Every structure is written in C-alpha cells, then in structure tokens.
Amino acid sequence: MPTREELHALIDSLPEHSFDSAQQLLTRLQVWPPEPIRDVEMLRERMRQKMDEFPGKGGKPGPSGKLTSFGGGGHYSPLTASGTSSFSRWDGDTLTTERLHRHKGHDISVVESTRLDGTRLIYEHEVVGPANQRDARKVIFEL
C-alpha cells in the first residue's frame, strides 16, 4: 500500500493540465467508500430493466422458439459526466443492439437491427434524444 509521501510525490509529478481531473477524483475519495456516481447507477438500472424485458434471458427460447442470447457492456467517466452502456440480443433472425448514451446529463438511445432477407442485408436504426426527438433510417444492401 502506498504511503502519503508516495502519493504526494505522485501528485507533485503530475502535468499541470491534469490538475482538474486529479482534483475531481481526489475530492470524490474524501468520503470512503465513495458514493456511487448517480449517472452510472442510472445507466446500470436502465440496462437491468432492458435485461428483464428480454424474452430470451437465461438462454431460454424467445418468441421464435429459437435459443436467444444477450450480452452487453459499458463505461462512464465522472470527469466528463458522460458514458454509455450497450447490449445486443437476437430477436429471431435479427441482431438488435441498443446503446444508451449519457452526455453531461442528456440521454440518447440508439437501437440498431441487422437482418438478412433473401439476397438483401437490411440495417435499421432509430435514435431517440432529448424531449423524445426521434430519427430513423433504413438501409438495404443487395448481396
């Protein structure tokens, strides 16, 4: 375990442009254990809710009767108050990926789906942003 003197030496060696980030991080550590970052907890809760809604969770057959899967991940930076979580699932023969972005208190959700239809690869996405503003696109690739 490092000593206070070693930590002071480490701080003394930091470049000046990193002082703001170091100060924010050290301030959070003044209380131990540090409180959870609210935005991280919000992203985790939204991901938990999506997993609970997922019909094939736990490797059970989904609506199509096929074995489905679910996976995801994410990251969050308290220094920029921004982060993302994402998860993918199979809805029958369609791969669906949802990303939840939080940028300085603003949320954006992106849902993408990719599927084959005969000799066509179909990609669709919908973006939902602040105030429920929406945009959707569909791109068809002939194979």
Residue 52 contacts residue 89 (beta carbons within 8 Å):
no
pLDDT band with cut points at 50, 70 and 90 for residue 13: very high
What is the reported pTM?
Answer: 0.57
Q: What is the DSSP letter of 67?
A: B
Question: Is the model more confident about 35 or about 27?
Answer: 27
Confidence at 32, pLDDT banded by 50, 70, 90: confident
pLDDT tens digits, one per residue of 62-78:
455 544 555 666 777 77
Burial of residue 134, with CB atoms counted within 10 A of its CB: 0-12 exposed, 13-18 middle, 19 or more buried: exposed
Residue 93, Cβ neighbours under 10 Å: how many?
11
**Mean local confidence (pLDDT), 44-53:** 68
Write the single-letter amino acid at 22.
A
CB atoms within 10 A of CB 51: 14
pLDDT of residue 42: 66
For 82-108, how does the pLDDT look when each residue is reduced to its tens digit (9 = 90+)? Answer: 888 888 878 788 988 888 888 887 889
7: alpha, beta or left? (left if phi > 0; alpha if psi -120 to 50): alpha
Q: Where are the domains of the chain?
A: 1-35, 37-142
Q: Which residue has the higher pLDDT, 33 or 127?
A: 127
